[in-house]
Structure 1
Amino acid sequence: MRRTLGAEFAAALHRYRDRSAVEAAGRSWTFGDVDAWSRAVATQLRAHGVAAGDAVALYLANGVEFVVADVAVALLGAVKVPVNPLLPADTVRYIVAATRARVVIVDPGLGVELPPEVPVIPVDDLADPSRPPVTSPAVVGPDAAAAIYFTGGTTGRPKGVVHTQASTVAVQYAQLLEAEIVQDDRLLLTTPLAHAAGLFAQSALIRGATSVIEPGFDVDHVLTALRTRAITWTFLVPTMLYRLLDALDGPEPLGLRTVVYGAAPITPDRLARALEVFGPVFVQLYGQTECPNWGTRLAKDDHDPARPELLDSCGRASIMADVAVVDDRLETAPAGTTGEVCLRSPYVLEGYLDDPAATADKFLPDGWIRTGDLGFLDDRGYLHLRDRRADMVISGGMNVYCSEVENVLAGHPAVSRVAVIGVPHRDWGEAVHAVVVPEGAADADEILTWCRDRLAAYARPKSAELVDDLPVTPFGKIDKKALRAPYWADRERSIG
């Protein structure tokens, strides 16, 4: 059995070489085109000293170049480090430094200057297919590192999540089944390829399907693609789905067979409308960077407005995953009892980069990992999320780590103390909200404006309130549960 991404890609690119692999920027590339181009880029990377096990950072906007570079890194048995273009400049530089990237393939248009000692390949200088190619994938073991994905940490610094060749291949096997990707699918990808969309692009390559890549989500462009480009599959966060629903007058024969979504449930009224417009095509995923995408799955048949108890859930354990809920003693909690959600699968992380303490805290015996999420399993095995141990907000499908936002806000001269929480939002699931104890004269709108150039767009507070003091727990910590309570009082699920 092939157990490396490079081997999977090489086999698929040869098998489907005459089929369309990628469409982007008004052009189309076959699997054979991607094969030749990625092998040329692999040769270019090798000339920069990249060998098996070396980190290669991809700091790129959405486009065919990301896919080509992804394959090239895998062919060398190197370690992919995807860097989300939405991240602040300091975080980008931190990721490059933390991974000791041998080289960064960079889109200068993203506007972040890297330290002069970091070797870079501008995206426009990627090798063309005429370069003598790498002839075969590097031989690396299934336990070798294949990717480092970054997720925020409670200290405000992102953590590097290390995945092996075996885990990256395993998640693809699960994804092909659970996301229902088939060979004649045409996948419309509009979210960052450095995030979940990149995993779906990998699935399309392995399966022989076509990725139709957009630079970002634009309602008009997406509707045009759905109407004119024979799209059968797409990935959305609920915010995007709501924008599409608002733009459509009624049902259209769009040809979609599958819409995968994550990060938040669809509200019942919006789901009824979505089913009317698109049909029974929805699949919800729940996972985390440490167990990508497929911890649980809410299937198409479960999206039934007549069964609202299922719509409150994020589904049952995925085909290659186990789900458990444990109490404070880390013992299995009875059905219906809220505790910490734990996952086990062949595609959990190997560990956190250079952080053995965090790795040890993440794992329980027998391969289980702690998610930091609180929820319960009902008597049919459906997982219902209720809150998070981790101090995190999910807004429009993007993870926002409150401590990072608080650290930025604390730098404002009129901010004495601050707490950041998630509050309900009809479209985004949650919106970032700042509760500020001011230092002298302060203006909430001015504080929000001040954040504009200091945080990624999705992480900026959308609202702020000025208060005299912040509530604290008996242990002297800010009581965020008390801060959230007024906003979530009429909701069972206290996260988006």
Structure 2
Amino acid sequence: MRTTIGAEFTAALHRYRDRTALEAGGRSWTFGDVDRWSAAVAAQLRAHGVTAGDAVALYLGNCVEFVVADLAVARLGAVKVPVNPLLPAATVDHVLRTSRARLVVLGSSVPRPDGVPALVVDDGGGPLPGEPLAGPASEVAAPEPADIGPDARAAIYFTSGTTGLPKGVVHTQASAVAVQYAQIVEAEIVEGDRLLLTTPLAHAAGLFAQSALIRGATSVIEPGFDAGGVLEAIRTRGITWTFLVPTMIYRLLDAVGGAEEFGLRTVVYGAAPITPSRLARALEVFGPVFVQLYGQTECPNWGTRLAKDDHDPSRPDTLDSCGQASIMADVAVVDDDGRFLEAGGTGEVCLRSPYTLESYLDDPAATAEKFLPGGWIRTGDIGFLDDGGYLHLRDRRTDMVISGGMNVYCREVEDVLATHPSVSRVAVIGVPHDDWGEAVHAVIVTDGPVEPGEIVEWSRGRLAAYARPKSAELVAELPETPFGKIDKKALRAPHWAARDRAIG
């Protein structure tokens, strides 16, 4: 059994040499092409001093270079640090500084960070501000494979907690390999599949691209999601598999005309539940192809799985869930004291698998708080298990909104809005939204004349598009708990009163 993700990639690149590995922008590359290209990039990284254990940031949008650089990092036994180009510059700087990135691979359209050597990918953003990343025509021998073991670091993914400060989530080589084994099975990725990837490679789509390589499938990479373009690709490019968030499924349903046949075999979705009425329509249009995942950065993607057979409108109780424990995971629910609850008991959801985090980067206190005895991790989600082992989510401990599949950390938004000259106090919550699941909503106490819409507009340019409030309201004061904290449960209650759970 191979114990490093680099070894998995190397084996696949040789096994499937003549098959198509990647497609983008009207071009294609075989596994052999990608082998040579990633070897050249690995040699380039080594020439810049990158060795096993060094962090390399991938600050790129969706492009084939992201996948190639990912492979190169793995071949060196270095540590991947994916960075979403939608993040504010200050957050990017924090990620690079905290991870101690030795080098960053970045797109020409993103701001170049200070103090970190860069290799630049031409993404149409203008003149290249630095040395170009090695191209597909490069012929350079690959460096010797890294001499590392399963406990070595493979990746640091950054996620925010209730403090609003991004935390580094450390995953080992063993974790990186294990999640791929689980994912290939649970996401039903098979040889010859053609995966359409439109969500950010810096998030879950990057893991799916890895699965496609390991399994001998083809990744068709698009820079972003466009409903019309996705439907056209499904119709004309032989797409058999894709990953979406529910909002994207809704957009596809809105764009579909009359009845037609689609060649999709599997649609994996996650980040939020799907509206039952929309699911019924999706099953009519695309057939029984849907698989729901539930996980978190600390246990990527596959904590639970709602299988294709479970997507049955005649079983509403099952559809209310996010499925049963994945093939390599265990799920439990605990009370406030960490005691395990029987079926039907509501408490904090905990997960255990071979691909949970090793630790939070440089944060032993947060790591200790995350883990329970026996290898269990706390998710911060509140829910219960039914008698069939299906997990039903009901709320979140963590102060976060999931809007259109993107994590929005309320403290980050509040910190920005609080700098408006007329804002005295502010609380950010998630409110129901038919398309996005939840929408970001700001509740504001002002000390000057200002309209809610003015504050929403003011946030443009100061927050990522997905994190900006979609609505705001002015109040005389914010409710507080007996401990003097803002009572967000009270703020959310009127918006969620007609629903049976307090998340979208």
TM-score by length of 2: 0.97
> Take 1:168 and 1:492, find their aligned partners in 2: how far apart are those partners?
36
Which of residues 277, 301, 311 in structure 2 aligns to 1:303?
A: 311
> Contact between 1:85 and 1:192, CA under 8 Å: does it hold in 2?
no
> Contact between 1:74 and 1:146, CA under 8 Å: does it hold in 2?
yes
Query: What's the CA shift for 1:61?
Result: 1.2
> Take 1:490 and 1:339, find their aligned partners in 2: how far apart are those partners?
22
> Take 2:204 and 2:4, find their aligned partners in 1: how far apart are those partners?
19
Greater displacement, 131-140 / 435-444: 131-140
Query: What's the CA shift for 1:136?
Result: 4.3
> What is residue 123 of structure 1 aligned with on the other side?
121
Greater displacement, 73-82 / 252-261: 252-261
> Take 2:145 and 2:242, find their aligned partners in 1: how far apart are those partners?
30
Query: What's the CA shift for 1:429?
Result: 0.5
> Take 1:387 and 1:370, find their aligned partners in 2: how far apart are those partners?
14
Match of 2:384, SS state, is strand
Counterparts of residues 347-362 of structure 1 (less than 5 Å)? 347-362=355-370
Amino acid at match of 2:66: F
> Take 2:83 and 2:65, find their aligned partners in 1: how far apart are those partners?
14
Match of 2:374, SS state, is helix
> Contact between 2:161 and 2:409, CA under 8 Å: does it hold in 1?
yes
Counterparts of residues 262-341 of structure 1 (less than 5 Å)? 262-341=270-349
> What is residue 17 of structure 1 aligned with on the other side?
17
Question: Deviations along 1:45-95, whole A, 9 cap, x unmatched?
Answer: 000000000000000111110010000000000000000111111111111
Counterparts of residues 37-116 of structure 1 (less than 5 Å)? 37-110=37-110, 112-115=111-114
Query: What's the CA shift for 1:153?
Result: 1.9
> Take 2:499 and 2:259, find their aligned partners in 1: how far apart are those partners?
30
Greater displacement, 133-142 / 332-341: 133-142
Which of residues 232, 237, 249 in structure 1 aligns to 2:245?
A: 237
Aligned residues with identical type, % of pairs: 78
> What is residue 209 of structure 1 aligned with on the other side?
217
> Contact between 1:250 and 1:277, CA under 8 Å: does it hold in 2?
no
Query: What's the CA shift for 1:130?
Result: 2.9
> Contact between 1:10 and 1:137, CA under 8 Å: does it hold in 2?
no
Amino acid at match of 2:238: A
- Structure 2: runs of 5 or more not aligned: 123-131
Match of 1:269, SS state, is helix
> What is residue 159 of structure 1 aligned with on the other side?
167
Runs of 4+ in structure 1 displaced over 6 angstroms?
A: none
Amino acid at match of 1:257: R
> Contact between 1:42 and 1:133, CA under 8 Å: does it hold in 2?
no
> Take 1:471 and 1:133, find their aligned partners in 2: how far apart are those partners?
64
> Take 1:438 and 1:33, find their aligned partners in 2: how far apart are those partners?
59
Question: Deviations along 1:157-210, whole A, 9 cap, x unmatched?
Answer: 111000000001000000000000001100000001000000000000000000
> Take 1:446 and 1:270, find their aligned partners in 2: how far apart are those partners?
34
> Take 2:408 and 2:425, find their aligned partners in 1: how far apart are those partners?
19
> What is residue 466 of structure 2 aligned with on the other side?
458
> Take 1:2 and 1:17, find their aligned partners in 2: how far apart are those partners?
19
Which of residues 470, 484, 502 in structure 2 aligns to 1:494?
A: 502
> Take 1:469 and 1:449, find their aligned partners in 2: how far apart are those partners?
22
Greater displacement, 41-50 / 134-143: 134-143
Q: Is 1:32 the counterpart of 2:22 in the alignment?
A: no
Amino acid at match of 1:118: V
Aligned-residue RMSD, C-alpha: 0.8
> Contact between 1:233 and 1:257, CA under 8 Å: does it hold in 2?
yes
Match of 1:41, SS state, is helix
> Contact between 1:189 and 1:212, CA under 8 Å: does it hold in 2?
yes
Q: Is 1:423 the counterpart of 2:431 in the alignment?
A: yes
> Take 1:204 and 1:370, find their aligned partners in 2: how far apart are those partners?
30
Match of 2:35, SS state, is helix
> Take 1:346 and 1:252, find their aligned partners in 2: how far apart are those partners?
42
> Take 1:131 and 1:359, find their aligned partners in 2: how far apart are those partners?
43
> Contact between 2:36 and 2:140, CA under 8 Å: does it hold in 1?
no
Query: What's the CA shift for 1:467?
Result: 0.5
> Take 2:223 and 2:471, find their aligned partners in 1: how far apart are those partners?
28
Query: What's the CA shift for 1:478?
Result: 0.4
Greater displacement, 318-327 / 137-146: 137-146
Match of 2:415, SS state, is helix
Match of 1:23, SS state, is strand
Query: What's the CA shift for 1:135?
Result: 4.8
> Take 1:302 and 1:389, find their aligned partners in 2: how far apart are those partners?
27
> Contact between 2:247 and 2:404, CA under 8 Å: does it hold in 1?
yes
Greater displacement, 84-93 / 69-78: 84-93
Which of residues 376, 381, 406 in structure 2 aligns to 1:373?
A: 381
Question: Deviations along 1:237-275, whole A, 9 cap, x unmatched?
Answer: 000000000011233211000000001111111011000
> Take 1:80 and 1:182, find their aligned partners in 2: how far apart are those partners?
25
Match of 1:109, SS state, is coil
Match of 1:39, SS state, is helix
> Contact between 2:344 and 2:387, CA under 8 Å: does it hold in 1?
yes
Query: What's the CA shift for 1:423?
Result: 0.3
Match of 1:33, SS state, is helix
- Structure 1: runs of 5 or more not aligned: none
Query: What's the CA shift for 1:343?
Result: 0.2
Amino acid at match of 1:41: V
